[in-house]
Amino acid sequence: MAGEIEVRGYKNAAGAILIAALLTEKEVVVDNIPLVEDAFNTIEVLKSLGVKADWQGERTLKLKADSVDPTKMDFKRISKTRLSVLLMGGLLGRFRSFKIPHPGGDRIGLRPISTHLEAFRKLGAEISETSDFYEFKARELVGREIILKEFSVTATENVMLVAVLSKGKTIIKGAAAEPQVQDLAEMLMEMGAKIKGQGTHTLSISGVKYLNGTRHAIVSDPLEAGTFIVAGAATPGTLKVTKVRLDHLDIFLDKLEEIGVDFKKEKEAVIVNYSPKLRAAKIQALPYPGFPTDLLPIVVPLLTQAQGKSLIHDPLYENRLNYTQELRKMGADIELVDPHRAFIFGKTPLHGVRIESWDIRAGASLVIAGLLAEGQTTIENIYQIDRGYEKIEERLQKLGADIKRVNE
């Protein structure tokens, strides 16, 4: 592939940013919205609640939550997206009583929200659960010290959404520091929230009585940037990936350099060349600023083309490595050590077969594998890819990739 491709807004930031509009009756304008299924579903859920949502341009949305009714929530749409877990914080920050169904999302194993619920309860919420939904009630929400038991991005964001309008001060220890958490903090501060420590693992939030409206542009997507950089390394040609926040990809790019990927950094861009001489590596997913868990599946097709034995380790999700069995169907020599670790032996040629996308990043991994494989690869369940990548086949076609969407 050759040419230039622009990174869109961060899908994983869009949910919290859009839901934050619930915290004020004032007008909120969000720019750089990624046009992906998860964002569309979140917007439709907000509209079902009574939020006025008017597109001002291709990627700009004006929101106004001055007449919201939580009882009108679209339960069916919520079940389609994991981002809806953030509605708990958004609604609890503004309202004191509502019901919400269990969230949906990726099929990458158990993703319990016990950390979220424990934090909500510490802030003063009463929560009951049935097989279908959670019911929230709160007389008063009061800030206190919250120690998260894991570096959970959505749990951190949920506590932030509640704490900004709670009484007193909330201290979040063990907070996630990922780019999307920093982006939410920036937006909330633009709205008048008092937050200190963004970008660190301890956040201090002093509650305010109300928030104002704002205009906020969603941060550039580091996962999409990483995906395109790897695709450029895997296929003949030179690819320029633009609108890249390089500081959000420090360790990822350092690991690519270790593997032998030929690239150079420019201001907000990465130029990557086809890299056929790759070296094996050990890669462990870690909380930010470590190697992103969502970029681990993306580099695996590259590692199948590297000389030697590579080891990948994702300690977070027990089913995250399911996609490796799809790569094995293509000829990859991969040995699962346990649900969290796998050996990858290379260099191994891949060949096209019919495979299935298990989740967003697995789907992107299989797209990259299909681009470097001999013959035709057919990927099923591409809804998962559409949840996180905007018209990926059209954008890759413009770079010379032989890829098309088919309806079967």
**Model pTM?**
0.94
Query: Which sequence spans correspond to the domains of the chain?
Result: 10-217, 222-397
Instruction: Specify the 3-state DSSP secondary structure of 273.
Output: strand
pLDDT for the residue numbered 111? 52
Q: How far is CA 354 from CA 187, 213, 217, 270, 378, in A?
A: 43, 48, 39, 32, 5
pLDDT for the residue numbered 109? 42
pLDDT for the residue numbered 362? 94
The set of residues, in sequence order, having a beta carbon less than 8 Å from that of 247 and lying 6+ positions away, is none
pLDDT for the residue numbered 36? 93
Chain segment 346-390, per-residue pLDDT in tens: 999 999 999 999 889 999 999 999 999 999 999 999 988 998 999
* DSSP state, residue 50: T
Beta strands in 138-220 (DSSP E): 145-147, 169-173, 194-196, 202-206, 214-217
pLDDT for the residue numbered 80? 63
pLDDT for the residue numbered 81? 63
Sheet containing 61-64: which strands, arranged edge to edge? 52-55, 61-64, 27-31, 214-217
When the candidates are 3.40.50.720, 3.65.10.10, 3.40.50.2300, 2.40.50.140, the CATH number that belongs to 10-217 is: 3.65.10.10
Shared fold status for 10-217 and 222-397 = yes
When the candidates are 2.60.40.1120, 3.30.70.660, 3.65.10.10, 3.40.1080.10, the CATH number that belongs to 222-397 is: 3.65.10.10
Phi, psi of 281 (to 5 degrees): -155, 165
pLDDT in tens, the chain (408 residues): 999 999 999 999 999 999 999 999 999 999 999 999 889 989 999 999 999 999 999 999 999 999 999 999 888 877 666 666 899 999 999 998 999 987 764 444 445 688 999 999 999 999 999 888 899 999 999 999 999 998 999 999 999 999 999 999 999 999 999 999 999 999 999 999 999 999 999 999 999 999 999 999 999 999 999 999 999 999 999 999 999 999 999 999 999 999 999 999 999 999 999 999 999 999 999 999 999 999 999 999 999 999 999 999 999 877 789 999 999 999 999 999 999 999 999 999 999 999 999 889 999 999 999 999 999 999 999 988 998 999 999 999 999 999 999 975
